[in-house]
Every structure is written in C-alpha cells, then in structure tokens.
C-alpha cells in the first residue's frame, strides 16, 4: 500500500461540492460537523479549498451550468481522489432525470474526467448522517 493511500484512509480531508442540490443533503452534511456526530474524531476534516482535499463530497445532480466548474474542481484535488456522491440526485438524478439541463449521473461524469477515479455513493433523500459516516468508512476500507 502506498503512503498516499494509507494517509487517505487514516485522515481524509473533504471538500464539499454542491452542484445543484435542493439543500436537504447539504443540511445533513453540515449536521456531521456538529458535536452530536463529530466526524473529526475519525480524522475527517472539511476543508475550504479543493487543493487541500483528498476527497470530494458531492451533493446534487450534474447539470450543464456547473459541469465546467466541477471539472476544474476535480483537477485541483490531490490524486488519488475519492468522490462521494451524497443523496439520490447524485446517484440516479431522481426527479431531474429527464431534464434538458442534466448531463448525467455523477459516476459517468467523473469517469469521463478520470477513468481511475474512486467513486462511492450514499443513497437516500436526504441520507442520514449515520449513513454518510458508514458510507465514508466503507469506501475508505476498500482502498
């Protein structure tokens, strides 16, 4: 195991990307930072810049307006970068599936940017904070 993957498993720094969410997932993500769930005890830290991030926490579906910005954000992160799709919109685009503005599901978009990307989903509308913690832990165990 490389030193980079070992460090990513022990202390992932996460940058939150809100592509086009309804904000329910964003509220649950912010709930992770409260003392009730306190994800920092696991070494997970929310950072303010994608250049400092090991992982991207993506909420919402990818549309044409935010696609170029998301590509730039992904290119700025350190590699290997884990992309966590939070909620049903990132997973299957739910109510935005047949929209004229939607590009596609998150995994399709990320694989076009980087075929070696590591993608994990946490389903739900919105997913509970416990489910997000479990999804992050399980995805990091596979590294």
Q: What is the CATH number of the domain that holds 91?
A: 3.40.50.12280
83 contacts 111 by C-beta, under 8 angstroms: no
Q: How many residues does the chain have?
A: 143
Q: Number of structural domains, the chain?
A: 1
4, pLDDT greater than 70: no
58 contacts 17 by C-beta, under 8 angstroms: yes
Residue 67 pLDDT: 92
92, pLDDT greater than 70: yes
- Mean pLDDT, the chain, rounded, equals 85
55 contacts 121 by C-beta, under 8 angstroms: no
| H/E run at residue 113 | helix 106-113
Please tell me the distance from the alpha carbon of residue 62 to that of residue 92, in angstroms, as a whole number. Answer: 11
Residue 70 pLDDT: 92
Residue 68 pLDDT: 94
Residue 21 pLDDT: 82
Query: What percent of the chain has pLDDT above 70?
Result: 92
23-66 per-position pLDDT tens digit: 888 888 888 888 888 888 888 888 999 999 988 999 888 889 99
Residue 76 pLDDT: 92
Query: Between vectors from CA 107 to CA 39 and to CA 66, what angle results, nearest 5°?
Result: 85
118-136 per-position pLDDT tens digit: 888 898 888 999 998 888 8
Q: How confident is the model at residue 103 (pLDDT cuts 50, 70, 90)?
A: confident
Residue 32 pLDDT: 87
Q: What is the average per-residue pLDDT within 102-120? A: 87
Question: For 4, what's the count of Cα atoms within 13 Å in the CB-facing half-sphere?
Answer: 8
Domain that holds residue 30: 3-141
């Amino acid at each position: 195991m490389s030193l980079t993957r070992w460090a990513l498993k022990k202390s992932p720094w996460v940058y939150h990307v809100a592509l086009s969410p309804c904000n329910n997932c964003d509220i649950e993500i912010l709930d992770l930072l409260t003392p009730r769930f306190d994800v920092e005890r696991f070494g997970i830290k929310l950072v303010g810049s994608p250049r400092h991030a090991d992982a991207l926490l993506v909420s919402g579906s990818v549309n044409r307006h935010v696609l170029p910005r998301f590509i730039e954000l992904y290119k700025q992160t350190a590699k290997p970068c884990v992309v966590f799709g939070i909620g049903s919109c990132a997973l299957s685009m739910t109510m935005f599936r047949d929209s004229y503005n939607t590009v596609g599901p998150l995994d399709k978009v990320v694989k076009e940017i980087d075929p070696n990307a590591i993608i994990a989903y946490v389903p739900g509308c919105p997913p509970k904070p416990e489910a997000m913690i479990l999804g992050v832990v399980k995805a990091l165990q596979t590294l």
